[in-house]
């Protein structure tokens, strides 16, 4: 089992540690509800060092990433300092992973990938890097750490420890900064629906940085809270809302695919066709009317005592923000309009739900 | 260390039973609530339902997990803690008192004697 550079800090804080994508990670410290509240009202800290970090360097880096990913990397400021959400897709259009591409400098990028897909992604990247010149790929996951600071007070908290003005960064902007004496890359990104930043640093300095953030009032939060917060913000999670059999257009990710960007890219032909094809299945938000909690895999039926199955829950949870069960579900397009009443089958009983606008919650 | 009440009986699936005469009150243990985390939803049976030992009598859910409840003993449900619905945090805060779930009229008052005693339950959970 892999451990992040913050493993000892989590143990000392009495976190509950669980296996996650091959890593031993904190699922909760004080409790999921407390931690969600800390992020919605203050500043929460997440160790997300398990996520893969691949540095891509050289004059060949931009054309390589432009070919590899579906978003338009050339839109990132040439001098660096910007990031974008993107996807790796197969030729047939299925999603290999969702990623964030951070441009540090003209010829230097960091690609952050899901922990569960790191090996697959690296293999895919290396395969497509063969015979390309002026291109260096380096998996720097083991040598580095990644800490997310999220919540309405997150930016102020980091600003108070930083030698550069973090508050001046736009959403998805990034900068190099010394935070609490530690050299970092600070990016205004996150996965909670809140304002905040993510801090990249070297592994051996992660503990000092984490402690400084805790001392300033940051509340350590686990993967349990992270999953609930991302679901309230309707942010998709690989393996749940998307996978290799799901085209971006069935995961509310069509906006990421820039079919008209300059040059060829992996998946371009299939994605161009899919973009113009009728949508059979759509990802929607469901809010329960009663008190049941929808969970991944639960069938979704048309309303009426004998309504047919029209879809399935991809992620579901109790939402602390709404005090209700909420879910993302993939349903037939005819049942996807806001306000449509559907039933979720929970332990063989029908529970009424309603298609609602997404996100369930957002404060960015 | 978990709170384990003397005089109660316990199951491997972390329910507790308190026998008084021919009735038994049932809930989940302090260890169980700690493992589950913040409980946000519960489904309990109707009064009058007849349970056999090991029947699923309800479901308890935390933010992230769903867990079934198993009847430790056989009998008819004579009371259900309706106050828990909407106030499930009581199970976290007071698993042996305000967090009780159901009371059954025992089919066989001797049946609970076969369940784990406090010492056996403590070693069951590795404490």
Q: Which domains does chain A have, with CATH numbers?
A: 1-277 (3.30.1360.120), 278-356 (2.40.30.110)
User: What pLDDT is recorded for position B1?
Assistant: 85
Tell me the whole-structure pTM to 2 decimals.
Answer: 0.95
Cα B19 from chain centroid (whole Å): 12
pLDDT digits (tens, 9 = 90+) for A147-170: 999 999 999 999 999 999 999 999
**Are B41 and A318 a contacting pair at CB < 8 A?**
yes
Q: Which of B37, B40, B85 sits opposite A28 (nearest CB)?
A: B37
Confidence of residue B127 (pLDDT cuts 50, 70, 90): confident
Q: Nearest C-alpha of chain B: how many angstroms from A269?
A: 39
Search chain A and give the residue with CA nearest B40: A318
**Are A224 and B37 a contacting pair at CB < 8 A?**
yes
Residue A151 has phi, psi (to 5 degrees) of 135, 165
Confidence of residue A364 (pLDDT cuts 50, 70, 90): confident
pLDDT digits (tens, 9 = 90+) for A8-64: 999 999 999 999 999 999 999 999 999 999 999 999 999 999 999 999 999 999 999
Task: For chain A, list the strands marked E by DSSP.
Answer: 16-20, 23-28, 44-47, 52-57, 82-89, 95-105, 108-113, 136-139, 144-150, 174-179, 182-187, 196-202, 219-221, 281-288, 299-302, 309-319, 324-332, 341-346, 349-356
**Are B63 and A228 a contacting pair at CB < 8 A?**
yes
Q: Does B63 touch chain A (CB under 8 A)?
A: yes
Q: Nearest C-alpha of chain B: how many angstroms from A326?
A: 11
Identify the residue among B31, B33, B40, B65 best suited for mutation to test binding to A, counting A beta carbons within 10 A and taking the highest: B40
**Are A347 and B59 a contacting pair at CB < 8 A?**
yes
**Are B40 and A292 a contacting pair at CB < 8 A?**
no
Mean predicted lDDT score pLDDT of chain B: 97
Half-sphere exposure of A191 (CA within 13 A, CB side): 27
Q: Which of A31, A295, A317 sits opposite B37 (nearest CB)?
A: A31
pLDDT digits (tens, 9 = 90+) for A214-266: 999 999 999 999 999 999 999 999 999 999 999 999 999 999 999 999 999 99
pLDDT at A306 over 90: no
**Are A291 and B66 a contacting pair at CB < 8 A?**
no
């Amino acid at each position: 089992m892999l451990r992040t550079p913050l493993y000892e800090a989590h143990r000392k804080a009495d976190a509950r540690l669980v296996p996650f994508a091959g890593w031993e990670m904190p699922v909760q410290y004080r409790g999921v509800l407390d931690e969600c509240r800390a992020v919605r009202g203050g500043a929460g800290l997440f160790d997300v060092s398990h996520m893969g970090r691949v540095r891509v360097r050289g004059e060949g880096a931009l054309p390589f990433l432009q070919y590899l990913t579906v978003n338009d990397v050339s839109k990132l400021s040439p001098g660096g300092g910007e990031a974008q959400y993107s996807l790796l897709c197969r030729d047939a259009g299925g999603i290999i992973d969702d990623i964030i591409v951070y441009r540090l400098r003209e010829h230097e990028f960091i690609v952050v990938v899901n922990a569960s897909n790191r090996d697959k992604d690296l293999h895919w990247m290396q395969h497509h890097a063969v015979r390309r010149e002026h291109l260096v790929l380096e998996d720097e996951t083991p040598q580095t750490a990644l800490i997310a600071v999220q919540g309405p007070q997150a930016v102020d908290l980091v600003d108070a420890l930083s030698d550069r003005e973090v508050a001046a960064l736009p959403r998805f902007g990034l900068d190099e900064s010394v935070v609490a004496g530690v050299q970092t890359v600070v990016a205004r990104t996150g996965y909670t629906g809140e304002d905040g930043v993510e801090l990249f640093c070297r592994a051996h300095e992660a503990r000092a940085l984490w402690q400084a953030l805790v001392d300033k009032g940051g509340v350590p939060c686990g993967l349990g809270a992270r999953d609930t917060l991302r679901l309230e913000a309707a942010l998709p999670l690989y393996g749940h809302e998307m996978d290799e059999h799901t085209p971006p257009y069935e995961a509310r990710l069509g906006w990421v695919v820039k079919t008209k960007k300059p040059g060829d890219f992996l998946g371009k032909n299939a994605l161009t066709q899919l973009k113009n094809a009728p949508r059979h299945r759509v990802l929607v938000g469901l809010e329960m009317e009663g008190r049941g909690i929808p969970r991944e895999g639960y069938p979704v039926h048309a309303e009426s005592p004998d309504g047919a199955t029209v879809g399935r829950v991809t992620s579901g949870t109790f939402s602390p923000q709404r005090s209700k069960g909420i879910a993302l579900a993939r349903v037939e397009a005819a049942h996807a309009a806001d306000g449509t009443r559907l039933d979720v089958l929970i332990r063989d009983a029908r529970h009424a739900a309603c298609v609602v606008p997404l996100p369930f919650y957002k404060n960015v | 260390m978990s709170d384990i009440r003397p005089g109660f009986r316990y199951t491997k699936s972390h329910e507790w039973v308190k026998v008084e005469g021919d009735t038994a009150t049932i809930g989940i243990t302090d260890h169980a609530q700690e493992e589950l985390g913040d409980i946000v939803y519960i489904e309990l049976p109707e009064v009058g339902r007849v349970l056999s030992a090991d029947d699923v009598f309800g479901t308890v859910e935390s933010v992230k997990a769903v867990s079934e409840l198993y009847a430790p003993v056989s009998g008819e449900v004579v009371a259900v803690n309706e106050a828990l619905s909407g106030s499930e945090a009581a199970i976290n805060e007071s698993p042996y008192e305000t967090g009780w779930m159901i009371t059954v009229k025992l089919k066989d008052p001797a049946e609970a004697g076969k369940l784990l005693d406090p010492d056996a339950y403590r070693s069951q959970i590795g404490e």
